[in-house]
Amino acid sequence: MMTCQTPYILLLLCVGVSAVEVQRPRGVPLSKRQFYEENKPFTCLDGSRTIPFDRVNDDYCDCQDSSDEPGTAACPNGSFHCTNAGFRPGFIPSSRINDGICDCCDTTDEYNSGAACQNTCREMGRKERESLQKMAEITKEGFLLKQQLIQEAKRGLEDKKAKHSDVQISKKDLENMVEALRTVKETAEQPEKEAKERHLKAWEDQKAVIQMEKDKARMTEVFPELDDDADGFVSVAELLSHSELDPDSDGSFTEAEAQGLLGGVDQVDAVTFESVWNNIKEKYISESNADTPAPVETPTEEIREPASDNDSEQYPEDDIPDEEEEEEEEEEEEDDDQDEGDYKSPPTTQTQEKKDDDDEGTMPPYEQETQNLIDAAQKARDAFDETEKALREVDDQIKNLEKEISFDFGPSAEFAYLYSQCYELTTSEYTYRLCPFNRVSQKPKFGGSETNLGTWGHWAGPEDNIYSLMKYEHGTGCWQGPNRSTMIKVTCGKETVLVSTSEPSRCEYLMEFISPAVCQEPPNPDSALHGHEEL
């Protein structure tokens, strides 16, 4: 008799139409036939005792391991072997023997119950063989596609390595160019800086002259204002009439202090007044300004119209606005405004320049020679910035290439084609998006923000098939729970598609992803189309 040695996917392809059954006690699998020899004492399989063979299947449990009653329900922990010729053999608990329910498709478990059982093994075997044959064909086609993916990945890897070498050369050239342009830029910026400083210095000097002239004109206006008796002198008494000139601002402007401002004398003429003006010009308030009263802000009350009869209709009794509440809200808003206004940022350069322009005119344009230096320096800066940007882009390109070249895309890089791709699955509520080696996300179908279900972590399958599971972790945190994570189960198929999603545990998702990259080479069934290991 032939023994079939194929994986489960082709197990039923090994079932033949006819074979000779090997005689053995009911309920004994073929693998244990040698322990049950007629006309010889039977030793319990656990070695605990030996009994006469006629006590095997006598409906009385002699062995602690139930091995003497494989075909009866005598032992509570026994098991019955269903031969199931034409289908898959299997085991059932011995308690199901002769219970009136057909558990074995070959009906051997109901040999003494009178149950009307029909042998359905061959029909079940036929259907499963058809299903498994179809799966075998898919596996075969998927494996052929996998070989193409491997070849494409191999070519892609060679291209990336070649590109990496070319980009490295480009990077070296750009580095040299950046350094050369840096020298050109710095060389052009030095005369530009010096020319700008000269121009600014000339403008500052010009502004100082303008200010000095304004200051002198102002002093000429102030002298007659202080000279109350128009005698051509400003005296201590006349100075005392301007309390704002008190040097220490203590509220007591004394004659001694006034005399001190005049340089220790009792009065000064228009010529000597210039030295006095420097001491008082920051505090002096013009008499013309002092005579003009400052506008007084009077508080205004909000004018409210008398309530009409319609007011009660517009505002239900419980909803009429509370004036006190409105006032409190307004006060809070004012407080907020004050809080925000506590810190006042210094005027920007543009603002300050505008103020200076108002006071002293606008800085004149650069001379043509200076402008030419500025243009040359700016041109050098632009060239340097553009080349430096190109160098950064090349650095990023190199990093991305090195990441792809070193990435674990499977034993033969068969999963490399998934890189930079995304696949979606839409359910009644959500659209799920899987971007292999990047992230998994979930978005409500009818609007709402996207939720991160995990970013790429690592391959997480068992040791003998590590590339069958993808682990994505550190997703968006659940409310009072862990961060979301997703396990992607990769199964063999001719297409690349995301087919299902579930949430077995809170915030832990499970998705099934079909890809030819995981298909294994199917065994050749030609040598095992006949026979059954349990006949």
Please provide the average confidence, as pLDDT, over all residues in the chain. Answer: 83
Whether 115 and 2 map to the same domain: the answer is yes
Which of the 8 DSSP states describes residue 20?
P
**Containing structural domain, residue 273:** 169-289
Distance in angstroms (rounded) separating the CA atoms of residues 16 and 76: 35
Q: Where does a domain end: 98, 119, 140?
A: 119
**Domain final position from 84, 119, 154:** 119
Domain count, the chain: 3
**Confidence check: pLDDT of 13 > 60:** no
Q: How far apart are the first and last CA of the chain?
A: 9
Would residue 354 count as lying in a domain? Answer: no
Query: Count of H helices and E strands in the chain?
Result: 9, 14
Strand, helix or coil at 534? coil
Chain CA centroid to CA 386, Å: 30
Of 406 and 304, the one with more pLDDT: 406
> Tell me, what CATH number does 476's domain have?
2.70.130.10
**Same-domain status, 54 and 114:** yes
Positive or negative torsion for Cα 274, 275, 281, 283: negative
Mean pLDDT value of segment 496-521? 95
186 and 88 in a common domain: no
Query: Rounded to whole angstroms, how far apart are CA atoms 461 and 467?
Result: 6
Strands 439-444 and 430-435: antiparallel
Whether residue 143 contacts residue 516, with contact meaning beta carbons closer than 8 Å, is answered with yes
pLDDT at residue number 442:
96
Q: Rounded to whole angstroms, how far apart are CA atoms 118 and 126?
A: 16
Instruction: Say yes or no to pLDDT of 477 above 70.
Output: yes
Pull the structure tokens for residue 303: 């004018």
Instruction: Match 């659209």 to its residue by tokens.
Output: 431
pLDDT tens-digit profile of 309-326? 444 444 334 444 444 444
Q: Indicate the pLDDT class of residue 508, thresholds 50, 70 and 90.
A: very high
Please report which confidence band the pLDDT of residue 21 belongs to, taking 50, 70 and 90 as the band edges: low
Read off the DSSP letter of residue 126.
Answer: H
Contact, 94 vs 73, CB < 8 A? yes
Report the alpha-carbon distance of residue 50 to residue 53 in Å, rounded: 9
Residue 387 lies in a domain: no
Residues 196 and 284 in one domain: yes
Tens of pLDDT, residue by residue over 252-274, are 889 898 888 888 899 989 888 88
The span from the CA of 457 to the CA of 486, in Å, is 10
Q: Look up tokens 């980009």; give the residue.
A: 167
Q: Which of 154, 156, 134, 136 is nearest to 144 (CA)?
A: 136
Both tokens assigned to 294: 């400052």
β-pair partners for 90: 82
Q: What is the pLDDT averaged over residues 517-535?
A: 59
pLDDT digits (tens, 9 = 90+) for 58-84: 999 999 999 999 999 999 999 999 999
**Residue-wise pLDDT tens digits, 380-391:** 999 999 999 999
Specify the CATH number for the domain of residue 282: 1.10.238
Judge if 180 and 281 occupy the same domain: yes
Question: Span 391-407, mean pLDDT?
Answer: 94
75 with 184, same domain?
no
Alpha helix locations (H) across 247-316?
Answer: 255-261, 273-280, 287-291, 311-314
Res 528: pLDDT: 37
d(CA 193, CA 248) in angstroms, rounded, equals 44
What percent of the chain lies above the pLDDT cut of 70?
80
pLDDT at residue number 238 = 86
Q: Are residues 224 and 285 in the same domain?
A: yes
Is residue 22 pLDDT above 90, yes or no?
A: no
Q: What was the pLDDT predicted at 278?
A: 86
CB-based burial, 268-284: b 16+ in 10 Å, e otherwise: beeeebeebbeebeeeb
Higher pLDDT, 15 or 263: 263
Residue type (1 letter), 450: E
Q: For residues 51 and 58, what is the distance between their CA atoms, to the nearest angstrom?
A: 12
On whether residue 180 sits in a domain, the answer given is yes
Radius of gyration of the chain (CA): 49
Measured between alpha carbons, how far is 399 from 105 in angstroms, rounded to an integer?
61
Residue 491 lies in a domain: yes
**481 within domain boundaries:** yes
User: What number is the average pLDDT over the span 314-340?
Assistant: 46
Distance separating alpha carbons of residues 67 and 252, to the nearest angstrom: 121
More confident residue, 125 or 531: 125
Same domain, 110 and 185: no
pLDDT over 50 (residue 300): no
Asked whether residue 426 is assigned to any structural domain, the reply reads: yes
Q: Which range has highest mean pLDDT (217-226, 247-256, 333-342, 489-498)?
A: 489-498
Q: How crowded is residue 157: how many other Cβ atoms within 10 Å of its Cβ?
A: 15
In a domain, 474, yes or no: yes
Contact 29, 21 (CB under 8 A): no
Q: Does 94 share its domain with 191? A: no
| β-pairing verdict for 508-514 and 497-505 | antiparallel
- β-pairing, 90-93 vs 79-82, is antiparallel
Residues 8 and 111 in one domain: yes
pLDDT class for 247, splitting at 50, 70, 90? confident
> Which residue, of 289, 309, 331, is where some domain finishes?
289
Q: Is the dihedral of CA 153, 155, 158, 162 positive or negative?
A: negative
Same domain assignment for residues 8 and 105: yes
Residue 489 lies in a domain: yes
Distance CA(535)–CA(20), nearest Å, equals 7
Q: Is the pTM of this model over 0.75?
A: no
Q: Name every residue whose Cβ is closer than 8 Å to that of residue 375 and which is 6 or more positions away in sequence.
A: none
Structure tokens belonging to residue 203? 């403008």
Hey, which bits of 74-126 come out as E strands? 79-82, 90-93
Per-residue pLDDT tens for 99-136?
A: 999 999 999 999 999 899 999 999 999 998 888 888 88
Q: Identify whether residues 185 and 285 lie together within a single domain.
A: yes
How many residues can be counted in the chain?
535
Checking if the pLDDT of 497 tops 90, the result is yes
Amino acid at 234: V
